[in-house]
């Protein structure tokens, strides 16, 4: 699936909401650099990657704070795939076939056997998901956690999920492969589980915030512990 005509609009809206400011030209890479990357690789740069780099390619919180998007001069072709991102410890990488109209994202987890496995997201969806996940996992400086498996925290847990479900600004923006992220502007609440709550194996709920003042109510009201 190629990006819809409003992909750039969607990416910009998400990025500006998470940063709590308007994007500026300096946040992105010069389009000429994207053209140079295409010339070097001799393949077209997928639209979703071009938009990502041209809009927020100079914003470390989105590009390198957890998983690592390759810089334009680091993009490479491997097994007919354009490798565009790497896991933070180098355990795996992600690529896409430039000529694939469906823009399926592939993950390689074993460089020795060159085994690739298809993700269940296309490239545009993968990029937008990572905008949220990058900030959840380190892009924001202020974070705290709540252990919902602790029986003593049951009242706080119920109050938290009641608040997330009231429609008071919170939206479930990611629900994929056991990762759930709720967002309200530059405030994120996330965990591994499903829409009903964290999994039994890991009952931790995290709060990741742009501003320390936004984290304080979670510490006071829901017993989150600062990280």
Residue 108: strand pairing partners? 93, 116
Greatest alpha-carbon pair distance for the chain in Å reads 59
With beta carbons less than 8 A apart as the criterion, state whether 81 and 43 touch.
no
Is residue 1 domain-resident? no
With beta carbons less than 8 A apart as the criterion, state whether 122 and 1 touch.
yes
The answer to whether residues 86 and 157 belong to one domain is no
The answer to whether residues 145 and 176 belong to one domain is yes
pLDDT of residue 129 exceeding 80: yes
The answer to whether residues 146 and 170 belong to one domain is yes
CA distance 117 to 77: 16
Tokens coding 116: 């690739």
Polymer length of the chain = 227
CATH of the domain at 209: 3.30.310
The answer to whether residues 58 and 86 belong to one domain is yes
Is residue 185 domain-resident? yes
**Residue 71: its pLDDT value, please?**
97
**Residue 212: its pLDDT value, please?**
96
The answer to whether residues 118 and 13 belong to one domain is yes
Spell out the SS3 assignment of 146-197: EECCCHHHHHHHHHHHHHHCCCCCCEEEEEECCEEEEECCCEEEEEEEECCE
pLDDT of residue 132 exceeding 60: yes
pLDDT grade for 110, boundaries at 50, 70 and 90: low
The answer to whether residues 174 and 104 belong to one domain is no
Is residue 157 domain-resident? yes
CB neighbourhood size of 71 (10 A): 14
Token pair 């469906």 is at which residue?
A: 102
pLDDT of residue 3 exceeding 60: no
CA distance 204 to 221: 17
CA distance 119 to 126: 9
The answer to whether residues 39 and 71 belong to one domain is yes
- How confident is the model over 102-106, as a mean pLDDT? 96
pLDDT of residue 47 exceeding 70: yes
**Residue 1: its pLDDT value, please?**
41
CATH of the domain at 110: 3.40.1580.10
Token pair 């010069």 is at which residue?
A: 30
Domain that holds residue 102: 7-132
Closest CA to 212 of 162, 161, 140: 140
HSE (side-chain half, CA atoms, 13 Å) at 62: 27
- How confident is the model over 93-113, as a mean pLDDT? 89
Q: H helices of 78-135, where?
A: 123-134
pLDDT grade for 111, boundaries at 50, 70 and 90: low
The answer to whether residues 120 and 147 belong to one domain is no
- How confident is the model over 11-30, as a mean pLDDT? 98
The answer to whether residues 206 and 98 belong to one domain is no
Domain count, the chain: 2
């Amino acid at each position: 699936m190629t990006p819809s005509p409003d992909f750039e609009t969607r990416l910009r809206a998400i990025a500006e909401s998470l940063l709590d400011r308007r994007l500026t030209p300096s946040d992105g890479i010069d389009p000429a650099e994207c053209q140079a990357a295409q010339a070097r690789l001799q393949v077209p740069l997928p639209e979703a990657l071009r938009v990502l780099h041209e809009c927020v390619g100079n914003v470390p919180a989105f590009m390198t704070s957890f998983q690592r998007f390759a810089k334009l001069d680091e993009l490479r072709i491997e097994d007919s795939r354009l490798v565009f991102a790497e896991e933070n410890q180098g355990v795996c990488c992600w690529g896409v076939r430039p000529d694939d109209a469906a823009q399926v994202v592939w993950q390689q987890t074993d460089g020795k056997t060159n085994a690739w496995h298809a993700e269940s997201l296309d490239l545009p969806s993968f990029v937008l998901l990572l905008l949220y996940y990058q900030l959840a996992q380190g892009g924001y400086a202020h974070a705290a956690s709540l252990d919902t498996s602790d029986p003593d925290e049951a009242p706080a847990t119920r109050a938290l999920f009641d608040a997330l479900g009231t429609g008071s600004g919170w939206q479930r923006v990611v629900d994929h492969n056991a990762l759930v992220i709720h967002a309200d502007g530059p405030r994120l609440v996330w965990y591994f589980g499903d829409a009903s709550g964290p999994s039994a194996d890991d009952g931790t709920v995290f709060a990741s915030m742009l501003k320390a003042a936004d984290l304080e109510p979670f510490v006071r009201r829901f017993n989150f512990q600062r990280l």
